[in-house]
Structure 1
Amino acid sequence: MSASPIHPAYPIGQPLQAWGVVERQQWLSQQCVQRSYQAEVVAPLLANLPAQAQLIEYGTLDYTQLGLSSYPLYAVKSCQWQPERPTVLVTGGVHGYETSGVHGALQFIAEAFAVYSEQVNLLVLPCISPWGYETINRWNPLALDPNRHFIAASPAPESAAAMACVAQYAPELLLHIDLHETTDTDNSEFGPAKAARDGVAFDWHAIPDGFYLVGDTERPEPDFQQALIQAVAQVTHIALPDEHGCIIGEPLQQHGVINYAKRELGLCAGMSAARYVSTTEVYPDSPHASPAQCNRAQLVTITAAIDYVLRHPASASAT
């Protein structure tokens, strides 16, 4: 049986006291650039853009008022958009530190976008949080989690820009795949930081070793989720539940699948009325998975999801 380890107090703020302006500024001062959005995301995107794709700069993430950089935000859209086809949204890098979400989306664009754009309408946002990507961070510079702020009048500019892009270019979705990871740093850094910021005790959960999916409690579609798990199992191992039958504290719904109330929580995968939605959770810290496997698992999830929709044509008319 796994026991929750004892964690020292987070080094910013006072225990059980929510952060104010001073603590948030202290946190921001400790963040630093560790990799390049331009070199690792934008350059490969431009180099591998298929002829069937249109590059859209859907906004600019401007943090210059905080002494930081500004970042162009990119989406990739099917050139031949046909209203009668199913429309598919792929989002990556909502949490910038979840590397395979970004690179899995880029790999899909480079390797599979051209083929699937002949059958479905595609919109891909490969890196929604470029500052988070560069600083290997879950939050944005305002100490906000973009994946809790896909809401009306969002205070997170990453979320607001992504929602505006989707509303403009793909307002009627059938399928949305949101690419994420669950990392060991969720327990060592990001979970404790969130608890300190909010003035609450840290709710520790064991990090599952393996891939899993997060469906939507309102739109669970278990056959769809099962098809994705079966496809990814050919690439990497699927996470098993803990001794309580849970993954990260949530009851297992079926092999490798838990559900969240995505709209209620303000999650990226809850921003639309798409019938089919799923959030990937890759485990990059596993001794049994390489970075290439993690990226491939993201790619396979996307292609398996599109294949499922194409095998069930009646779903294309669903709303």
Structure 2
Amino acid sequence: MAENEIIPIEMVLPHKIPLIPLNGKPIFPGIFTPIMLSNADDIAAVNEALNTNGGILGMVLVKQEANPMAIENLYEIGTVAKVVKRINLPDDSINIFISTLKRFKIKKALSKEPPLMAAVEYLDDVGEVTDEIKALTRALISEMKQITENNPLFSEEMRLNMVNIDHPGKIADFFTSILNIEKEEQQKILETIDIHERMEKVLMFIKREQELLRIQKKIQSEINEKIEKSQREYFLREELKAIKQELGMPGDAKSSDYQKFKEKIDSFKFTGEVLETVTQELEKFQLMEPNSSEYIVTRNWLDLICSLPWNQTSNKEFNLEEAVKILEEDHYGLKDVKERIAEYLAVRKLKSDSK
């Protein structure tokens, strides 16, 4: 082989590689990303890759949790990556920077215990770049731009990558990696080798994401309108109240009720626990919004308090026998209650006071 001849990547990549199980989401080819690893088995897999085959390892999504992890618990198709840099962290975990290269399929398990080793077959994209593929590429970029516009979740670097990727299959992979979709759906995209089919699936996910964003914006708009309306009404009421006070006009119904209750309660000259309770309810009434459910309850309570004859006494004589007779005629049964009322009236008559 000539010295300057280009060597195909299939001839460079080893067919026996260590595997790192992914619990989050699958990683797609053509991406440079950091990964933090704290599991001892994963670190052992990285060491194996660096020591034996130039840092080449496989990243595979976990299909079913297991301890210890076995190859049977992983999806068959993953992404091969090269460890570009490794950083040891103080807590014995490591941070690696990987460059993902292409898809692979697990052909055979070479180890039953971690670190996991497997014989793999590398997968190429299927399909030629036809006019239909070019049209799908333009549609993907156009629809994706609508999602990324004014969205803080998409960085400027992501937007630049959208227009700089030149291969249709890689564009579909990149869009899938940044879309907010379930990991199982992302894995299905990773397993789709046909470019046309993959792009159609990604376009469907983009359309669905657009619909979710439209509904989200609608909900946010409705909530903002309600908040703005409530704030506007509050400020207008406060302005109207200030204008009426300035002109000497009566205030709103709530202010009028508060003033009426306050004057009435002050005239009763309450003391002690009664004064404390009534004052607390009156202050609570002043702070309440008329639309709240407790407003009516508190208002009725204050209205009842103000309607009671607190400072009125009666020296009217009453006949105990006549009172008992009235109780028997007007109320059937209730023997204990009647006896208690009769005892109370008897004590009142003996004491000859109103307390």
User: TM-score, length-normalised on structure 2?
Assistant: 0.22
Q: Relative contact order: is structure 1 or structure 2 higher (C-alpha 8 Å, sep ≥ 6)?
A: 1
Question: If you compute each CA radius of gyration, which structure gives the higher value, 1 or 2?
Answer: 2
User: TM-score, length-normalised on structure 1?
Assistant: 0.23
Structure whose residues are more often helix by fraction: 2
